Chain A
Amino acid sequence: MATQPGRSTRAAVPAIAAAFAFFALVPLFVSDDYYLHVLVHVLFFAYMASAWNVVCGYTGQLSLGHSALCGIGGYVSTLLFINTGLTPWVGMLVGAVAATGVGVLVGWPCFRLRGPYFALTTIAFAEILRIWTDNTEEIFGIELRGAQGLSVPLKGHVPALFQFDGKVPYFYIILAMLAGVMLVTWWMERSRMGYYLKAIRGDQDAAEALGVNSIRYLLSAMALSSFLTGLGGSFYAQFFRYVNPERIMGLDLSIEFALMGIVGGQGTVLGPVLGSFLLTPAGEITRATLGGRFPGLHLVIYGMVLILSMLFLPKGLIEPLRRLAGRKRVPAGRDEPAAA
């Protein structure tokens, strides 16, 4: 039965726990701000790709509009902080709820579309939001400052306001967030909803014929993914202390989330994390060492990795690792309708 976690999954849990314990110790050895900065980046993209994976990996619908949800999270928490002084700890929840609302409202009509049409429509919605923000100086008396973006006011070392000296606290926060999103994904995969989603991915019409209310489960996954993405966007805003539409809502960012998820292995707990651990450091190091002479080289590398993985590892890096771990390969979509 597919409901039984495989042996390798049981073996993977302690391995993942050990990896997290190892990472929790990293700041004891690494004090260089630059390396910590790169690590936070790696964990942030692992988190965002995992949040993207909750809806896209498990349902097979490709969203290239997730950066809009990230932007909503970042903008809402920052605007609340600037205008009402509300601490970003609460603001990020408000931002995540706002992202959820938008995600569900947009997802509801979009899920009637499939394949490339769905992907293009998510781009359209995200671009509308980005262009609007880019060109709006203020709305209802709230300053958005258009393309200039918003700076988070500096308060010094005030943990209650999500502001810390140094990068170590941010590192632990994003590490905890990543653990959270992985737990949520793991739980979802094993819940009834996870099986319904896999059934929908295998064949939406067949799943509906068996009585799966596909829109309901697609929207639930969308809501969960939007909430997590919104939280991530708020973290981004607090970490960089600056948001602008180009960076936090742009199509490039959406493509990066999807790229990490796909290269690592969509529809798995570990895949998107692997994707980010492979790509983000490669990108960051290239940018730091060769970025002066060859700007954009890291994106060339991303493009090459994407092409190679589509050609040779369409199920992601996770697939050969799984085979190494001894799990028998289950053809996708074969066992899922039975499980539903």
Chain B
Amino acid sequence: MDPIILGIAVVNGIVVGGLYGAIAVGLSLIFGVMRVINFAHGSFLMIGLFIPFWLWQLYGFNPYLSILVAAPALFGLGYAVQAVLIAPLYKRERAMVIEPLSALMLTAGVGLILDNVTFMFFGPDYRGITLEFASRALWVGDILNINYTRGIAFLASLVIAAGLSLFLAYSDLGRSIRSTAQNRDAAALCGINVMRIYNVTFGLGCAILGVVGCLMIPFYLVSPHIGLAFGVRSFITVVLGGIGSIPGCILGGLILGVVESVAAQFVTASSASIFSFIIFILVLFFKPTGLLGMRV
């Protein structure tokens, strides 16, 4: 294998991997705080991609400007899904035998609806946008180049992760979220409205996808059924890095990105994801806490 080609593959993997990390951060946050696996995670990302696409298509909005629309919209959608659909499960939990999987199946139902309502309206086509500067790239030497839009997405991913970490560590709301994650009853005794924290957490996890969608749309084609693949990839990222750990999420995403990108040099691109699944299984069997496993 040519070391230069391999080097390019690694760099591409890192750039894509940062984005995988940012996509998974929301899933990790929701699981860390609520113990709910959001099976609709990828579907929310799909919505997050369609919003900037249509704003660009219909009104010529710059996708980076669309963050101002997509992030609040996704926050609202996530907040509503949690408040209306998932919250009743929590309220029932104490009186009944706990069914940790019912939330998973419930969100799977949400995913089915989101995917297929989108499919009904927009059909199966893959859509993308062409920005004027999307074809330009940052050249390092003569061979290695990083497309500007991908570079922006990568850097923004790191900013998202760092911002979320700081928010959880220092803001009042962040502290409330962390205390709810540690002990729901103790948090409630301290006067925290646990259900509201859950709503906000779910909304926040989805709002991140609104931001990521706007970052991705300049170089990524969206169709109604891409959600599940991204959802599954996010599960892998989260487990790899350690559930509830934000730096772990980025690390997991980077590993996944590099593995897929390098593997694609040896096998077809579509079978490269087999290696991600194998890593996922190995991590679950041998180090189920993940690489940086700790609480939010």
In contact, B109 and A310 (Cβ under 8 angstroms):
yes
Tell me the nearest residue of chain A to B239, going by C-beta: A120
A109 is contacted by which of B108, B112, B285 (Cβ under 8 Å)?
A: B285
Q: Taking the complex as formed, is B73 at the interface, i.e. its CB lies under 8 A from any CB of chain A?
A: no
Q: Taking the complex as formed, is A98 at the interface, i.e. its CB lies under 8 A from any CB of chain B?
A: no
Q: Taking the complex as formed, is B144 at the interface, i.e. its CB lies under 8 A from any CB of chain A?
A: no
A interface footprint on B133-171 (CB within 8 Å = 1, 0 otherwise): 000000000000000000000000000000000000000
In contact, B284 and A310 (Cβ under 8 angstroms):
no
In contact, B268 and A135 (Cβ under 8 angstroms):
yes
B280 is contacted by which of A112, A124, A259, A302 (Cβ under 8 Å)?
A: A124
B241 to chain A, nearest CB (A): 14
| Cβ contacts under 8 Å, A128 to chain B | 274, 277-278
> Which of B224, B232, B277 has the most chain A CB atoms inside 10 A of its CB?
B277
Tell me the nearest residue of chain A to B112, going by C-beta: A303
In contact, A135 and B271 (Cβ under 8 angstroms):
yes
B90 to chain A, nearest CB (A): 12
In contact, B281 and A125 (Cβ under 8 angstroms):
yes
Q: Which of B98-106, B178-186, B201-209 contacts A (4 or more CB under 8 A)?
A: B98-106
Q: Within the assembled complex, what's the spacing in Å between the Cα atoms of A265 and B152? A: 49
Tell me the nearest residue of chain B to A56, going by C-beta: B101
| Cβ contacts under 8 Å, B288 to chain A | 113, 117
Q: Which of A189-197, A220-228, A290-298, A317-325 contacts B (4 or more CB under 8 A)?
A: A290-298
In contact, A311 and B235 (Cβ under 8 angstroms):
no
In contact, A116 and B284 (Cβ under 8 angstroms):
no
| Cβ contacts under 8 Å, A117 to chain B | 239, 284, 288
| Cβ contacts under 8 Å, A113 to chain B | 284, 288
In contact, A304 and B109 (Cβ under 8 angstroms):
yes
A300 is contacted by which of B92, B117, B236 (Cβ under 8 Å)?
A: B117
Q: Taking the complex as formed, is B4 at the interface, i.e. its CB lies under 8 A from any CB of chain A?
A: no
Known A62-B101, A303-B112; judge A120-B285 contact (CB<8 A). Answer: no
Q: How large is the interface on A (under 10, 10 to 19, 20 to 34, 35 or more residues)?
A: 35 or more
Q: Taking the complex as formed, is B173 at the interface, i.e. its CB lies under 8 A from any CB of chain A?
A: no
A200 to chain B, nearest CB (A): 14
A306 is contacted by which of B112, B239, B281 (Cβ under 8 Å)?
A: B112
Known A128-B277, A135-B268; judge A310-B105 contact (CB<8 A). Answer: yes
B110 to chain A, nearest CB (A): 7
| Cβ contacts under 8 Å, B58 to chain A | none
| Cβ contacts under 8 Å, B111 to chain A | 303
Q: Within the assembled complex, what's the spacing in Å between the Cα atoms of A310 and B235? A: 22
Q: Taking the complex as formed, is B116 at the interface, i.e. its CB lies under 8 A from any CB of chain A?
A: yes
In contact, A131 and B105 (Cβ under 8 angstroms):
no
Tell me the nearest residue of chain B to A306, going by C-beta: B109
In contact, B104 and A62 (Cβ under 8 angstroms):
yes
In contact, B120 and A297 (Cβ under 8 angstroms):
yes
| Cβ contacts under 8 Å, A300 to chain B | 112-113, 116-117, 120
In contact, A307 and B101 (Cβ under 8 angstroms):
no
In contact, B116 and A306 (Cβ under 8 angstroms):
no
In contact, A310 and B119 (Cβ under 8 angstroms):
no
In contact, A119 and B104 (Cβ under 8 angstroms):
yes
In contact, A262 and B104 (Cβ under 8 angstroms):
no
Residues facing B in A48-106 (CB within 8 A) are 60, 62
Residues facing A in B257-285 (CB within 8 A) are 267-268, 270-271, 273-274, 277-278, 280-281, 284-285
A294 is contacted by which of B105, B120, B228 (Cβ under 8 Å)?
A: B120
| Cβ contacts under 8 Å, A259 to chain B | 105, 108
B46 to chain A, nearest CB (A): 13
| Cβ contacts under 8 Å, A307 to chain B | 85, 106, 109-110, 113
Q: Within the assembled complex, what's the spacing in Å between the Cα atoms of A295 and B118? A: 10
In contact, A135 and B104 (Cβ under 8 angstroms):
no
In contact, B119 and A131 (Cβ under 8 angstroms):
no
Known A62-B104, A132-B271, A310-B105; judge A296-B85 contact (CB<8 A). Answer: no
25 pairs, CB–CB < 8 Å, chain A vs chain B: A62-B104, A113-B284, A115-B101, A117-B239, A117-B284, A117-B288, A119-B37, A131-B274, A135-B267, A135-B268, A135-B271, A255-B112, A295-B123, A296-B115, A296-B119, A297-B116, A302-B109, A303-B108, A303-B109, A307-B85, A311-B106, A314-B99, A331-B97, A332-B97, A333-B97
**The 6 nearest A-B residue pairs measured at CB:** A303-B112, A296-B116, A306-B109, A303-B113, A135-B271, A307-B109
